[in-house]
Amino acid sequence: MTLRPPRYSVIDAASGASTPSTSPRPAYDAPPLETSTSLDSASLRAERRPPRYSAVFERERRRRPRAPGSPRAVSPQLHEYHLRHGGAKAAPYATLRVYSRASASPSGASVAVGAATASSLRVPKFSGADLVQGSLDLNLETPQNINAISLSLRGRIITSAYDGGSHTFLEHPIAAWTRAHGDPRTMLLAPVGGVTAGAARPKKFDGKLAGSYSWPFSFPFPHEVLTGGAGGASPTPQSFAEKHVRGSVQYELVLRMSHGLLRSDSKLHAPVIYLPEITPAPSSGLRQLAYAENMGMAGPDVDPEGWHALPTVTVRGTIFRERSIKLHCTLSLANPLTYTRGTIIPCHLALESSDTQGLDVLAAPKGLAVRLIRRVQYYDDTAVPTQPRATGAGADKAGSIVEISFEVEAAVWWVNAATGGAPSARRRELEGEIHLDKDLQPTCDFALFKVSYAVELLPFATPVFQLQVKGSGSSSPTLKKFPEETLISHPVTIATLHGEGPIPVAYTQPTPRASKKIQARTYSPGSSVVAGVGIYI
């Protein structure tokens, strides 16, 4: 393949990091809200990196975080949730207003009781460290006895509907008032950062609340969570709820108003969606040039920095039930090993064998089996300590771990005319790509709920080949057709944002499949599998 020299200045390929980065986003500008001494206002600072490449890549660049003060085209969306006396037609006495840049479907989360019709169909969605902005407003037409008001952001891992089937890992206070804080209006009217004049401690409020009150709030969504133990802080997990996975991660704004002994507390739960910001490092200069100029990608021999070659695997088996064959398979994945959902995972496969006829048969694109697999892990007993125990002494007290494996997508292969059109006698090279759905769950490395991905190379999926494997309890080899044994596997990261440079270009369409396999197993840390089951969907 002939590569044209770039029309721009020389690219320093070593200047990019090799690991994905998670960085806070600057916040949008929401409508002005009242200030209050009981609530802190936070703002995020965005750092814009200078572009590494010339304008040839600008048309392909993803949207960058805006600089502070620059305009934003997207207007914030308003969501309202209400508490009422009586039926749905009664005037609300408490309204929770939340502004968000985006919204999403509840995805299995419980919609707040008392939510407005429009708001109940869509819930607030926050990414990275977006600002959570809004206000809690009371409109009390008649005096009411209210002893305490609290508003918080709560994150939970839920594994069952029974008592003890959930674990709260995040409880972020937003607003709090009790009678000990004094008159709410005095507190609201006090200057920011000041104290009530003439008293070191506010006088306890003994009356009833009547009229209108407003508690505005503004804070960045926590992008880290303290898990306790030696683990320290972990990235905040994304909202997660899927049909075939019992465990879920849910976030909600929780409002609670205490009225006293003769009346039950008023409660409101408003679900929110959270998505972390994960950005891959830049691709190699030659790969970016290929995307920008719509050219074929250079292979590992031409662009070694653009590929991560896995260890070569030797495969032995029988072809046509007549003769034995041995092949050396080298699977390479595009560098860096972080891929944005909605794009692709570029792959390269090199096959070598002294059996030319067998090599031609097994190098057919439809017979290659490379897939992306996802694993979700969480504790079956949510009452386990917040930091998973190490294996060994006391590991049996940590509870069982549930692991759900899911076949995400299979690679699509083709022979590159520039490299595979004139193959050598003993070597064949193929190019491929794994398509990533735009709504694919990103990688999550939270201590109590993990979502991980790996690319796996399986034996050839062709009826003319039988893999040679060692039988259980015997040293003599056996032959298997369409085995599930993984020849080699390598972890990859699924990101949510595009990195620097042009967006990866797909050369094929994903191959539709009738079913995808889900495999579930339960085990204790440091022990063998307790139970397992596999299904197809």
Q: How confident is the model over 396-409, as pLDDT tens digits?
A: 435 688 999 999 99
For range 173-188, the mean pLDDT = 84
3-class secondary-structure state, position 307: strand
Please tell me the distance from the alpha carbon of residue 333 to that of residue 315, in angstroms, as a whole number.
19
* 22-52+68-273 belongs to CATH 2.60.40.640: yes
Tens digit of each residue's pLDDT (9 = 90 or more) over 35-80: 333 333 333 333 333 333 333 333 333 444 444 444 455 688 999 9
Q: Best-predicted range by mean pLDDT among 98-107, 408-417, 436-445?
A: 436-445
CATH topology match: 22-52+68-273 vs 285-536: yes
Sign of torsion over alpha carbons 113, 117, 119, 123:
positive
Give me the residues paired with residue 166 across strands. 158
Cα–Cα nearest to 382, from 234, 166, 170, 228: 166
Give the pLDDT confidence score for residue 196 in this predicted structure.
Answer: 46
Mean pLDDT rounded to a whole number for the chain: 77
Kindly report each contact of residues 183-187 with a partner whose C-beta sits within 8 Å and lies 24 or more positions away, as own/partner: 184/209, 184/213, 185/213, 187/36, 187/37, 187/38
* C-alpha torsion sign, points 322, 326, 332, 337: positive
What is the model's pLDDT at position 162?
77
Residue written as token pair 């804080």: 181
pLDDT of residue 70: 43
pLDDT at position 332: 98
In the chain, what are the domain boundaries? Answer: 22-52+68-273, 285-536
- Please tell me the predicted confidence (pLDDT) of residue 260: 82
pTM of the complete model:
0.77
Report the pLDDT averaged over residues 101-111. Answer: 66
Backbone angles phi, psi at 398, to 5 degrees: -85, -5
Confidence of residue 324 (pLDDT cuts 50, 70, 90): very high
Query: Would you call the peptide bond into 191 cis, given omega within 30 degrees of 0 as the criterion?
Result: no
What are the E-state strand segments in 101-165? 102-104, 123-127, 131-144, 148-158
Q: Are 268 and 83 in contact (CB under 8 A)?
A: yes
Smallest Cα–Cα separation from 443: which of 340, 306, 333, 307?
340
Give the three-state DSSP class for 419: coil
Write down the pLDDT at residue 525. 61
Residue 482, CB-side half-sphere exposure with 13 Å CA sphere: 2
| Residue 151 · residue 254 · CB < 8 Å | yes
Please say if the pLDDT value at position 341 is more than 50.
Answer: yes
Distance CA(437)–CA(329), nearest Å, equals 28
Rounded-to-integer distance, Cα 399 and Cα 388, Å? 9
**In this structure, what DSSP letter does residue 27 have?**
P
The angle formed by the CA atoms of residues 440, 405 and 454, to the nearest 5 degrees, is: 65
**Residue range 229-272, pLDDT digits in tens:** 656 788 999 999 998 898 999 999 999 999 888 788 899 999 99
Distance CA 406, CA 523 (A): 17
> Which pair of structure tokens corresponds to residue 261?
């002994």
Phi-psi region of 321 (alpha: psi -120 to 50; beta: other; left: phi over 0): left
**Average of pLDDT values for 131-139?**
95
pLDDT: is 141 or 19 the higher one?
141
Strands 529-536 vs 369-379: parallel, antiparallel or unpaired: unpaired
Residue 443 has pLDDT above 60, yes or no: yes
- Check pLDDT > 70 for residue 147: yes
Exposure of 146 in the CB half-sphere (CA atoms within 13 A): 26
Decide: 406 and 515 in contact? Cβ < 8 Å: no
Q: Taking CA 139 as the corner, what is the angle to CA 136 and CA 141, rounded to the nearest 5 degrees? A: 160
For residue 113, give the 3-state DSSP assignment.
Answer: coil
Torsion of CA 280, 281, 283, 285, to 10 degrees: 150
- Helix, strand, coil % (nearest 5) of the chain? 10, 40, 50
Segment of 382-396, 422-436, 444-458 carrying the highest mean pLDDT: 444-458
Written as six digits, the tokens of 211 are 């009229």
Look-up of token digits 């797909």: 506
User: Which of 173, 252, 174, 271 is closest to 218 using CA atoms?
Assistant: 174
Question: How does residue 185 score in pLDDT terms, banded at 50, 70 and 90?
Answer: confident
pLDDT attached to residue 382:
55
Task: Sort strands 412-414 and 427-435 into parallel, antiparallel or unpaired.
Answer: antiparallel
Position 519 scores a pLDDT of: 77
SS3 475: coil
Q: Are 496 and 504 in contact (CB under 8 A)?
A: no
Give the separation between CA 271 and CA 110, rounded to whole angstroms: 7
Q: Tell me, what's the pLDDT at 379?
A: 87
Tell the burial category of 246 from Cβ atoms under 10 Å away from its Cβ (0-12, 13-18, 19+): middle
Phi–psi pair at 402, nearest 5 degrees:
-100, 130
d(CA 460, CA 481): 9
Instruction: Quote the tokens at residue 231.
Output: 């683990």
Q: What value does the mean pLDDT take over residues 83-111?
A: 80
What is the pLDDT, as a whole number, of residue 14?
Answer: 37
Fold (CATH) for 285-536: Immunoglobulin-like (2.60.40)
Least Cα distance to 381 among 204, 532, 158 occurs for 158
Instruction: Provide the token pair at 390.
Output: 């190490």
